[in-house]
Amino acid sequence: MEITLSPLSPSFSKTFITSLYELKDGERIRTCLQCGTCSGVCPFGYIMKFPPGKMIGALRAEIFDQVIKADSVWMCISCNACAAFCPSNIPITSALMTRAKEEMLLAGNIPSELQAAMENTQRYGNPLGESPRKRADWTAGIQPEVNILSKTRQPVEVLWFVGDYASFHSRMQPATKALAKILNALGVKFGILGTEEFSDGDSQRLAGERGLFEMVAHKNGQLFKKYKFNEIITTDPHAFNAIKNEYPALGIKYPVRHYTQFLFERLEQLKPLMKKEIKARVAYHDPCYLGRVNGVFDEPRALLTAIPGVELVELSHQRMNSLCCGGGGGGMWLDGFQWEKAHTRLSEWRVREALTVNADILAVACPYEPPRFEDAAKNVDAGGQLKVREIAELIAESMEG
Ligand code: SF4
Ligand code: SF4
């Protein structure tokens, strides 16, 4: 799709470059070697009219308006692989791609499904368009009752930021319950924000909606102020990334960990509770915003290998070189658009990798992934042999013994 824009000012590229320089490490863009590494590691680089290296070339040639008119920027799922492997340490994902998406939004060049997710976030506080009143419905029937802070106002050890997909998505709710069961078994005094919680906003930010991100971040920040807790844990690596790396710049500063880090710290307490064997070859998928962006590689693996019977096998793309599930940075809301362009899905590539190493289970630690990978497995030969499980689900299952 190429859209018609009213003529951009001749100085557009220069203005755009100046705005990049104002971002953290943005001025490093001048050190680009045009080596092509970023475009090579980009999972969709082969299909983009302007993969990242070529975008920088377009900036230098002052023809960046052509990038804005084309739609290949929307093939970027903010996986951060380009930035991680760039020899000049250019913040390609956080600066260049995100700023380009902001310009695309301003120019009205936005796929309709992404637009709907943004409007849902604005209207309902979550991109799924679910009623905020249903955010704590997953807690029904759990004993002891989950502490919803707006009701009890009790001080807690841990504020569990549950997040959008873990709260609302029917495939994720069993995994969310599983984590509640584990926290209860460990005697953790935790509470949730329940119906008050807003989207963490990180994927909206990466998809170019900085204003929306700041709006939900401030709303969550006001909630954090209301309650007493020692630290935050998150189900979602994107929420973890937002609260750890982005909220502090808005004055919202709290200690935060992903739940796998929190459980890893209690592994010796957890081990005797896991009695049932799960005899399976388990491949672990590193989520981009847990592994590559925030360096959490070992804790999820340690949790998996502590489960009796589990044999951990590694995928060909692993750790820093992990392959995105396709859901990050707005990818969750661009499936139709990306399918139209690529006629393939990254989640299907990942399922094939898991089958190649004869995995029985693909273990994940991000709420975007169980629905994505289960759906992908339906379209891959022999995909029916592969189960997809959140790490919390596997631990809770082992505790049933
Ligand atoms: S990897 Fe870095 S230095 Fe190489 S082309 Fe891409 S942005 Fe430029
Ligand atoms: S963030 Fe990932 S998808 Fe986006 S340009 Fe970089 S490598 Fe490609």
Instruction: Assign 10 a pLDDT band (cuts: 50, 70, 90).
Output: low
Pocket of ligand 1 (CB under 6 A): 32-38, 52-53, 56, 86-88, 90, 92
Cα 32 to averaged position of ligand 1 atoms, centre (Å): 5
Quick: pLDDT tens for 319-351.
Answer: 999 999 999 889 999 999 999 999 999 999 999
Q: Whose CA is nearest to atom 5 of ligand 1?
A: 34
Closest-approaching ligand to the CA atom of 322: 2
More confident residue, 148 or 110: 148
Helix or strand holding residue 233 (H, E)? strand 231-234
CATH pick for 274-399 out of 3.40.50.10700, 3.30.70.20, 3.90.180.10, 3.40.140.10: 3.40.50.10700
Q: Does 181 score more than 60 pLDDT?
A: yes
- Do 80 and 203 touch, CB atoms closer than 8 A? no
Q: Whose CA is nearest to atom 8 of ligand 2?
A: 42
Helix or strand holding residue 387 (H, E)? strand 387-390
Average pLDDT of span 347-372? 97
> Probe ligand 1: pick from 31, 34, 97, max atoms within 8 Å of CB?
34
Average pLDDT of span 185-195? 98
What fold, for 113-265?
Rossmann fold (3.40.50)
Ligand 1 atom nearest the C-alpha of 29 is 7
Pocket of ligand 2 (CB under 6 A): 41-45, 52, 76-82, 92-93, 97
pLDDT of res. 20: 84
Candidate from 53-62, 273-282, 344-353, 378-387 with smallest mean pLDDT = 53-62
* Domain boundaries of the chain, sorted by first residue: 12-106, 113-265, 274-399
Tokens representing 236 are: 């979602």
> Probe ligand 2: pick from 76, 96, 341, max atoms within 8 Å of CB?
76
Average pLDDT of span 193-203? 98
Candidate from 134-138, 188-192, 334-338, 362-366 with smallest mean pLDDT = 334-338
Residue 153, φ and ψ in degrees, nearest 5: 55, 25
The CA-to-CA distance between both ends of the chain, in Å, stands at 55
- Do 68 and 15 touch, CB atoms closer than 8 A? no
Average pLDDT of span 124-129? 98
Quick: pLDDT tens for 250-268.
Answer: 999 999 999 999 999 999 9
Instruction: Assign 64 a pLDDT band (cuts: 50, 70, 90).
Output: confident
* Mean pLDDT of the chain, nearest integer: 94
Quick: pLDDT tens for 304-317.
Answer: 999 999 999 999 99
Q: Whose CA is nearest to atom 8 of ligand 1?
A: 32
Closest-approaching ligand to the CA atom of 35: 1
pLDDT of res. 7: 55
Question: Do 113-265 and 274-399 agree at the fold level?
Answer: yes
Instruction: Assign 19 a pLDDT band (cuts: 50, 70, 90).
Output: confident
